[in-house]
Structure 1
Amino acid sequence: MLPWTALGLALSLRLALARSGAERGPPASAPQGDLLFLLDSSASVSHYEFSRVQEFVGQLVAPMPLGPGALRASLVHVSSQPYTEFPFGQHSSGEAVQDAIRTAAQRMGDTNTGLALAYAKEQLFAEAAGARPGVPKVLVWVTDGGSSDPMGPPMQELKDMGVTVFIVSTGRGNLLELSAAASAPAEKHLHFVDVDDLHIIVQELRGSILNEMQKQQLRASEVTSSSFRLAWPRLLTTDSGYYVLELVPRAGLGAPRRQQLPGNATDWTWAGLDPDTDYDVALVPESNVHLVSPQHLRVRTRPAEPPPSAPEEAGPARIVISHARPRSLRVSWAPALGAPAALGYHVQFGPLRGGAAQRVDVPAGRNSTTLQGLAPGTAYLVTVTAAFRSGRESALSAKACTPDGPRPRAPRPPPSAAPARGP
């Protein structure tokens, strides 16, 4: 039997080893990924609702394996301007993240969700901003359902990057709009729940997030009509093997393509592809150290983009009447922005109440002319027509009035005849 001092020393050593093991963070088998919480922190959410959402997110993340080699979490507030409460990598345990969420202050302001989504794409999920390449990325958006700005396009850009989107609405959101914003299928990624019942979905949502993170999945993003980008979690190392990527057109109309990549690679972009075509992709990890199963994916390129149309031929955008005199006035016009240059203009004018119309031709490069020989105090219809090389003409009309002229003087009576004088 060990003396009490030796036994105490052994127990202390075991505790120290246990603590050091805990400080090393999650085990090597822990899932990797970046998890972003987007919270509605605007004035449309009451302080009570915000506190319940804080509690919900804290419960959701507390038991998750966070650390440099596992999950990383970040929190962004939706307000008039997006605000990062903490970025990826700042906290390395679920308890630390829970504490940071608990002490977060509501920002108030407008609900500019679209602005916050664009901010998340550029400042957090982009590799240029320090995001880890090749790891799953998940967005959990907790909202009361409204947005002050359009959020569809930036949300689609995030999904095109490969971000999986979960949405939790506290019951006032538009079902169709939120279903389109969530990742497909919507029934697995969209939850409608009262703010006081958020605890009901904690376990289910946490399991869905961890399942997404644990997927050793080949993903496609940045799909265009002629290219797409592939990304996958880190399955090998430089010393443990290499990858072979295979690309085969589904219809069998083209030759298969193959690319060998080092074991530390986590992405590759295929270019020079045909538009609107299905491609079968295989990622084959080759390793003598351990067996890693191949992964397969089917990607369809976007349809070919139509060629840019020629600028539309358009007449003057605006007519200005100035320098109006009883018998003349000046006509000026502004060509339409972006329209092809006109070969010239002709200006037609005539009295509104009937009368012969006259025409003045104006060469290209000039945008004004003076109309002469008008009648005082008369309303005229003035039409400026632009003529183009195609033979097409485009016109714009405006009304113009000449002021009254000076009144004519009354004729003087003839001088009376002098009386005749007699002899």
Structure 2
Amino acid sequence: MLPWTALSLALSLRLALARSGAERGPLASAPQGDLLLLLDSSASVSHYEFSRVREFVGQLVALLPLGPGALRASLVHVGSRPHTEFPFNQHNSSQAVQDAIRAAAQRMGDTNTGLALAYAREQLFAEAMGARPGVPKVLVWVTDGASSDPVGPPMQELKDQGVTVFIVSTGRGNLLELSAAASAPAQKHLHFVDVDDLHIIARELRGSILDAMQPQQLYASEVTSNSFRLAWPPLLTSDSGYYVLELVPSAGPGATRRQQLPGNATDWTWAGLDPDSEYDVVLLPESNVHLLKPQHLRVRTLPDEAGPERIVISHARPHSLRVSWAPALGPVAALSYQVQLGPLSGGAVQRVDVPAGRNSTTLQGLAPGTAYLVTVTAAFRSGHERALSAKACTPVGERSRAPRPAPRVSVGRGG
């Protein structure tokens, strides 16, 4: 590692230029990258929903620059076992990809999304399946929110490999789990949309995908109230240079932090940060081969606020059920809670406001034998909200049950 004292003047000048934006790199041409489309093709999705999702994905790729020297796309179905509709190197034009999507048939079976994600990590992002080394990777997962197996570990492994994850949920599913599965920040990478309104987000999602496909992109993940992880593609090697990372609080006075890393480094975690604060990050590649422009990023840490820890459903009756939750933990107390309940099959949503001193409520006027999605949201003085969702089912009503057989009466004849 080179001594800091010998480089402090040059680094200070370069970093000052980076912060002012005085150094500009060449304008990028058509973005290159590999786009994996992961569709829920299982029996939990109706044929109508699948046809609407297929139409939306076709509309999305029509807006993207697909072809040689640009983006490549692959389509994988989630079912009992993952199924590749087409790999990255099969179609070389946007029209060919659209035609292949239009011809895709629903696979049915179980919703083993975790298995499909592991398959994507192990095979579809390999050169043998047409993936290209050194280009950005983006995953777009369209789901009804349900999975028969764990999603978290294989999704984290994909993100650890630098894959940007977008999730489009058609209105069902655990908000907390989907937020954790999507890339950070969740508000940019997670969309809840009714299946008939998917077209509304097509252009916004296109812009986000193109942003993620920009080469040499510095990005943040694993953002908490006091830390976040930075990662970037390999720009240098151990013998061609080194990196300098700079961290500056965006507002108010604060000490600038710097970290020098070897040329083979591709990630770094900043810890000991302030909650709910913005930081400006500069990644400065110092190469002895050619000039590389600095990269910039602004990251906001999460508030020191925690949502409900656990939801418990009890006293389930045909027309009512009780919802309880472990209250929000942390130094910042919730001002109030809101409980939302709606049928998984679609329909009106019931909302109940609960004061901060309580952690349970009874929901009335429900339909017998119906599956519901219950979401408990904690509201804080800062205006932020933290939510947790769970599934609840009401039992069938007494009138819907089969009548019990009448007891037999043995009548004897008198002697």
Structure 2-normalised TM-score?
A: 0.52
Amino acid at match of 1:196: D
Residue 242 (structure 2) aligned to one of 234, 246, 250: 246
2:132: which partner in 1? 132
Structure 2 SS opposite 1:214: coil
1:126 offset after TM fit, Å? 4.0
Per-residue displacement from partner, 1:264-304 (whole Å, max 9, x unpaired)?
A: xxx8799xxx99899985324677xx975133689xxxxxx
CA distance in 1, matches of 2:143, 2:257: 47
1:62 offset after TM fit, Å? 1.2
CA distance in 1, matches of 2:259, 2:114: 42
* Gap change, CA 1:108 and 1:296, over 3 Å in 2: same
1:135 offset after TM fit, Å? 1.3
**Is 2:291 the counterpart of 1:295?**
no
The unaligned stretches of length 5 or more in structure 2 are: 1-26, 222-228, 248-255, 274-280, 299-415
Structure 1 SS opposite 2:213: helix
1:125 offset after TM fit, Å? 1.7
Contact 1:219-1:232 within 8 A present in 2 as well: yes
**Is 2:49 the counterpart of 1:49?**
yes
**Is 2:144 the counterpart of 1:148?**
no
Contact 1:246-1:281 within 8 A present in 2 as well: no
Structure 2 SS opposite 1:216: coil
* Gap change, CA 1:190 and 1:117, over 3 Å in 2: same
* Gap change, CA 1:161 and 1:143, over 3 Å in 2: same
1:243 offset after TM fit, Å? 9.3
Structure 2 SS opposite 1:109: coil
Per-residue displacement from partner, 1:299-342 (whole Å, max 9, x unpaired)?
A: xxxxxxxxxxxxxxxxxxxxxxxxxxxxxxxxxxxxxxxxxxxx
Amino acid at match of 2:31: P
Trace 1:38-187 onto structure 2 (pairs within 5 A).
38-126=38-126, 131-187=131-187
1:210: which partner in 2? 210
2:387: which partner in 1? none
Amino acid at match of 1:156: Q
Structure 2 SS opposite 1:36: strand
Contact 1:40-1:143 within 8 A present in 2 as well: yes
1:258 offset after TM fit, Å? 5.0
Contact 2:89-2:130 within 8 A present in 1 as well: no
Trace 1:228-377 onto structure 2 (pairs within 5 A).
244-247=240-243, 256=260, 258-259=262-263, 282-284=284-286, 292-295=292-295
Amino acid at match of 2:285: L
CA distance in 2, matches of 1:116, 1:127: 18
Contact 1:245-1:282 within 8 A present in 2 as well: no
CA distance in 1, matches of 2:287, 2:231: 13
CA distance in 2, matches of 1:254, 1:50: 50
**Is 2:194 the counterpart of 1:198?**
no
CA distance in 2, matches of 1:291, 1:175: 44
* Gap change, CA 1:64 and 1:243, over 3 Å in 2: farther
Amino acid at match of 1:44: S
Contact 1:42-1:109 within 8 A present in 2 as well: yes
Amino acid at match of 2:284: A
Contact 2:85-2:104 within 8 A present in 1 as well: yes
Per-residue displacement from partner, 1:54-80 (whole Å, max 9, x unpaired)?
A: 100000001311123111100000000
Contact 2:145-2:172 within 8 A present in 1 as well: yes
1:132 offset after TM fit, Å? 1.9
Aligned-residue identity in percent: 75
Give the alignment's Cα RMSD to 1 decimal: 4.0
Amino acid at match of 1:136: P
* Gap change, CA 1:286 and 1:65, over 3 Å in 2: farther
Structure 1-normalised TM-score?
A: 0.51
* Gap change, CA 1:258 and 1:52, over 3 Å in 2: closer
Amino acid at match of 2:132: R
CA distance in 1, matches of 2:241, 2:211: 25
1:315: which partner in 2? none
Structure 2 SS opposite 1:145: coil
1:245 offset after TM fit, Å? 3.6
Contact 2:246-2:283 within 8 A present in 1 as well: no
Amino acid at match of 1:246: Y
CA distance in 1, matches of 2:42, 2:137: 25
1:82 offset after TM fit, Å? 0.3
Contact 2:241-2:288 within 8 A present in 1 as well: no
* Gap change, CA 1:164 and 1:135, over 3 Å in 2: same
Number of residue pairs the alignment of both structures matches: 251
1:90 offset after TM fit, Å? 1.1
Structure 1 SS opposite 2:191: strand
Instruction: Kindly name which structure, 1 or 2, has the bigger radius of gyration based on alpha carbons.
Output: 1
